[in-house]
Amino acid sequence: MTAWGGALRGALATAGAAAALMLAGLAEAAPRFEVTLDPAASKTPMTGRLFVVAATRQTPEPRLTIGLAGPAAFAIDVEGLKPGASATIDATAIGYPMEDLSELPAGDYYVQAVLTRYDKVTRSDGKTIWVPIKHWVPKNVGRIFPPMLEGNPYSAVQKVTIDPASDAVVPIKLDKLIGPAEPLKETEWLKQITIQSKILTKFWGTPVYLGATVLLPKGFNEHPDARYPVVYANSHGERPYSFDTTAPDPARIEAMRKAAREGANVQIGYDFYKTWDSEGFPRFLAASLYQSSPYFLEGYSVNSANNGPYGDAIVQELIPAIEKKFRGIGKPYGRITQGASTGGWEALALQLKYPDFFGGAWVYNPDPIDFRRWGLVNIYEDEQAFTTPISPYETAEIPFRRTVEGKPTATMRQLSRLEAVFGSKGRQNYQLGIWEATYGPVGEDGYPVP
């Protein structure tokens, strides 16, 4: 499976390498960005992934809009970039949605650079690697992508004119640092818990934290001797069921309806709050789990060779801590695991891997649970994941994401290219990367086998 999975991005990587060789001689005759690490942003050398984003609008900041529907982005790895030194983003850097900088149409752009910092760690398996080890703990859910993490240097947004036929050099200075995220404020309903996992800390050789936001049932404080069943929600959200005691404004409601039309699973949290607070609603705890790994914002709730023993850490450390602090029943019949998308896969995995620990699972539209249906690809039979034959003479692109009506909004080829920009050696912190890290073995270099 893993060897085939590598083919998903291997074709792009091979093509990118070939293009880099061909463009090496042309790089001097093409526009390029010279990105300098300002000593104000770091006093020590930095290793990581350097991005330059070129957007057609100034706000929101280009670095905040990188994605499948985002602006042009170009990236390279940097090793030991010293304060005051520069790195070059030119036609040899891999790009999205175009292959490289030479394909960026002429025009005016708002450009910004950001560097994802990697840290050197030595795991318990003896492998020493560089990864974004700044583990995400219960704070702002918007910090799900490594360039957004605290401590990463970035530049101001600057307007430039790009001419692919020019050899102009655009200087950019990394002189700002991303600050800490604003933590979620606790309320009478929502509480938080954070623990340092001894199991994961031992595996990674550096402190690793797990956490949860816990939604209390009505009457929790009025009944101090009561114990409650718990629904463990696996998701990217910071609040169970988007719980919100404030009625949203009409514009937000319309935005959520638009998202629903595009295929997202949404529910207005205020409506759920009214149900949760009603007299006849069952009384139980709901906990959104936080389990980010260096390869994704989710450790996928299982033990894996690359991520480490996240399943054991959740079952043996995090859940007992939650039930102790918030008066959970602490028995299998009092535990349900639940989730959608990645959370659906995790919910099913927890139930299957720890069948005597949970009393059931509510699984909604999970990530692929069968490699014969890996999205729309059968990895055992299909030769590649980008196209499917529709006649002896034609092929069609395989979609990765579609609206509820079936309209494609992204293809597997686009996803693969975007992830190749996001990072090398399995450090994309995105969909394909975490699948490879979760399902695949460790390579000789210590990184997931692509």
Q: Which of 145-159, 364-378, 429-443 has the lowest mean pLDDT?
A: 145-159
Start-to-end Cα distance in the chain: 10
Any alpha helices (H) in 233-366, and if so which ranges? Answer: 250-261, 269-276, 310-313, 319-325, 342-353
Q: Which of 135-144, 296-305, 360-369 has the lowest mean pLDDT?
A: 135-144
pLDDT bucket at 147, cuts 50 / 70 / 90: confident
Q: Which residue has the tokens 């693969």?
A: 416
Mean pLDDT of 77-82: 98
What mean pLDDT value characterizes the chain? Answer: 89
Helix (H) or strand (E) holding 173: strand 169-174
Residue 143 pLDDT: 47
Residue 79 pLDDT: 98
Nearest to 313 by CA among 297, 332, 292, 288: 292
Nearest to 148 by CA among 429, 420, 431: 429
d(CA 259, CA 242): 15
Residue 27 pLDDT: 43
Q: In what order do the strands lie in the sheet with 361-366?
A: 190-196, 209-215, 285-290, 230-234, 335-341, 361-366
DSSP 8-state symbol, 45:
-
Mean pLDDT of 94-98: 96
- 180 by Cβ neighbours in 10 Å (0-12 / 13-18 / 19+) ranks as exposed
Give this prediction's pTM. Answer: 0.89
Helix (H) or strand (E) holding 399: strand 399-402
Q: Which of 60-64, 142-146, 313-317 has the lowest mean pLDDT?
A: 142-146
Tens digit of each residue's pLDDT (9 = 90 or more) over 114-131: 999 999 999 999 999 999
8 Å CB contact between 328 and 285? yes
Mean pLDDT of 423-430: 94
Residue 138 pLDDT: 52
8 Å CB contact between 153 and 42? yes
Helix (H) or strand (E) holding 13: helix 2-24
d(CA 238, CA 389): 42
Q: Which residue has the tokens 């463009």?
A: 23
Q: How far is CA 145 from the centre of its chain?
A: 5
Tens digit of each residue's pLDDT (9 = 90 or more) over 233-270: 987 767 898 899 998 787 877 776 666 655 555 567 89
8 Å CB contact between 433 and 296? yes
Tens digit of each residue's pLDDT (9 = 90 or more) over 279-324: 999 999 999 999 989 999 889 999 999 999 999 999 999 999 999 9
